[in-house]
Amino acid sequence: MSLINLSNIESLLRRDFILSKKKYIIGGIIFSSAIILAFIFNSLSLSLSLRTEMQYCIKTSFHFATVYTIIFALMGILFLGKIINKQSLMNLLMLPVTRLEYFTSRIIICTTSFLSYILIYLILDYLYVAASPLWMSDSKIVLQNFSFSDLIASTTSKPLYNGSYMWQNSGEFWNTIAVLFGIQGYIAFMSVLFPIKTIQKILLFNLALALGVFILLVIISTIFNFEIQDLTNLFDNSSDSGASKYIVPIMFSATGLLFWVLSYYRFKKLEIINRL
Amino acid sequence: MINSNKLTFSYKKGNRILSDISFSIEPDQIYGILGDNGVGKTTLIQLMCGLLKPDSGKISYGDIEMFSHSAKVIENIFIVTEEPMLPAITLKNYIKATAPFYPKFSSDDMSRYLEAFEVSEDIHLKSLSMGQKKKVILSFALATNVSVLLMDEPTNGLDISGKSHFRKFISSYMEVEGRSVVISTHQLRDVDALLDHIMILRGENLLIDNTIELINRALIFELIDGGAVPQNFIFAQPSPAGYIVVRDRSKVVDQGLNINRELEVDIEQFYQAFKEKPTEVLAALSAVSE
């Protein structure tokens, strides 16, 4: 007896597409708008007369918080599908599919959507950098600290996709896959943890987390008197960096796997409707 | 098909809803679950399809526990809830999204039911009234051709012709062997002609779990045209045509009493008789079932 019926997964994917395509389009528009706003803020803050470190903190944190919190929130509402009340959970539980089939279909949907949003980000990032000489000259320095840009080298004159470049830098590629896997697992767990009012709770939680991390970094950098940029070197996806070669992919892969397992078992607990 | 053994359930500690409930849903029967408001009818329906987990005891479809949410079991069951929640998409898209999960789903049946209910296939579910949503979900439920249909207040919101069509559709649905329908309702007049088996919940217990045929053997339902109410009745209710009286059949026969105009089993009168004199009704039923 097979664990997974592929036709059930196909039916689940079709069902999700029919029920949620408007949501995905609106999510894409919101996400793109948020990135554009982040880029505009980025440009404005560069033009202000702030200390370099402060500028960097503001730009980095805001950009990070906006882009990734939006990704988290969008993925959060995507993972379980729309469960807003007992009736919608009942509709879900009465689908004649196994738990594993449903979970698998959600992984496929979330991974496809997540990669689509990353692609939108990369395209906008590329366009932003390509147009940046119009208003600033040092945007590349700021944006290069995000590994996605570095991976596809959209911040340089290289084309958006360059197969040979990616092959040469496959170490960074697997780093990025590991990071994405870890983030996706985290988002899946968060959305199963907050099945009701998912987007609001995940947004609030991650904004609070981002703010907390930012404050912590500022405090640490002030106390220990080092540049915050030094911390990002830990995740430098250069293949010469010994730490990132093993620690980063292993750490994120293990964390992602842990979150996925926790999500699966947490999802089982959701089936107790009277606790919802 | 669905078997329950000493089922107990409570939403919160100390607030037990159902206690030691045992029953069996057999094929080729239409069951009616009756009881006062808040007694646990909807809870029992949800336990039957595995949406709730019992505190103790077991409820299963064949050998498979309902709460395991086995896909093989769930594809044989469809539940029509009291207030169905339909997504904001067109009916055609809803059918495309949901029908593939039910191997025996029939598009022709769906079209036929929708036509009888006077609901167009080219509609957007968001624009429907509650009654129209009920018609859509009932049509879909019947078109799945599953073995067990569980319905919670299915006639709520239906208009008069909708109720008439509902009764016709359930009757024709049961013409195929191996099917069961379980209806939880207060609207007895809408479904009394359909029911084969009555289950009455009271307190935390299932106090009545009998076929209409057995009830008919145990009790007499009579219409008395004016005049004095006869002796030894369990329940009597005035009606425009006289009194409707419920009596213990064995006592009437044993004592050689006259039987007035005998009626078919009147479920509403039976329920009222049980509410007023539960001990006597249970005694009459026990005597026949032994």
Q: Output the pLDDT for position A153.
A: 39
Asked if B33 reaches chain A (Cβ–Cβ under 8 Å), the answer is no
The last residue of a domain, from among B179, B203, B227: B203
Considering B203, B228, B246, which residue would you say is the last residue of a domain?
Answer: B203
Q: What is the mean pLDDT of residues B100-105?
A: 93
Q: Would you call B98 and A274 a contact, using CB atoms and an 8 Å cutoff?
A: no
CA quadruple B34, B35, B36, B37: dihedral sign:
negative
- Whether residue B208 lies inside any domain: the answer is no
* CB spacing of B93 vs A18 below 8 angstroms: yes
pLDDT of res. A270: 62
pLDDT the model gives residue B34: 93
pTM of the model: 0.79
* Assigned domain for B133 exists: yes
Higher-pLDDT residue of A239 and B92 is B92
pLDDT at A59 over 70: no
pLDDT score, position A140: 44
Assess: ipTM above 0.90: no
pLDDT at B4 (0 to 100):
94
Position B92 confidence tier, pLDDT thresholds 50, 70, 90: very high
Residue B221 in tokens: 């339902």
Q: Residues B35, B16: contact at Cβ < 8 Å?
A: no
On chain A, the residues whose CB falls within 8 A of the CB of B78 are 94
pLDDT greater than 90 at residue B201: yes
Between A36 and B228, the higher pLDDT residue? A36
Specify the long-range contacts of residues B233-242, CB closer than 8 Å, at least 24 apart.
Answer: B234/B273, B234/B276, B234/B277, B234/B280, B234/B281, B234/B284, B235/B269, B235/B272, B235/B273, B235/B276, B235/B277, B237/B269, B237/B272
Q: What is the pLDDT of residues B151-194, one digit of tens each?
A: 999 998 899 999 999 999 999 999 999 999 999 998 888 888 89
CATH classification at residue B14: 3.40.50.300
Over 60: is that where the pLDDT of B82 sits? yes
Question: Domain span at residue B257?
Answer: 214-289
The answer to whether B104 contacts chain A (CB < 8 Å) is: no
Average pLDDT over residues B15-30: 92
Does one domain contain both B23 and B150? yes
Nearest chain B residue (CA) to A94:
B74
For residues B138 and B74, state if they share a domain. yes
Nearest Cβ partner for A273 among B51, B85, B100: B51
Distance, in Å, from the CA atom of B64 to the CA atom of A149, rounded to the nearest integer, reads 52
Helices marked H in B242-277 — which ranges?
249-254, 267-276
Whether residue B134 is predicted with pLDDT greater than 50 in this model: the reply is yes
Whether B175 and B274 share a structural domain = no
What number of C-beta contacts closer than 8 Å exist between A and B?
64
**pLDDT, mean over chain A:** 70
Residues B198 and B218 in one domain: no
Mean pLDDT confidence for A109-113: 80
Residues of A in contact with B75 (CB under 8 A): 96
Q: Which residues of B touch A7 (CB under 8 A)?
A: 100
* Beta partners for residue B205, in sequence order: B202
Same domain, B180 and B39: yes
Task: Give the residue from B146, B170, B203 where a domain finishes.
Answer: B203
pLDDT value at residue B167:
94
Q: Do residues B93 and B134 both lie within one domain?
A: yes
Question: Mean pLDDT lowest for which of A56-70, A123-137, B266-280?
Answer: A56-70
* A237 confidence band (pLDDT: 50, 70, 90): very low
Q: Considering CB atoms only, which of A14, A19, A96 is closest to B74?
A: A96
| Total domain count, chain B | 2
Mean pLDDT of chain B, nearest integer: 90
State yes or no: pLDDT of A81 exceeds 80: no
Angle at B246 between CA B233 and CA B174, to 5 degrees: 160
Q: How many residues does chain A have?
A: 276
B87 contact residues in A (CB cutoff 8 A) = 19
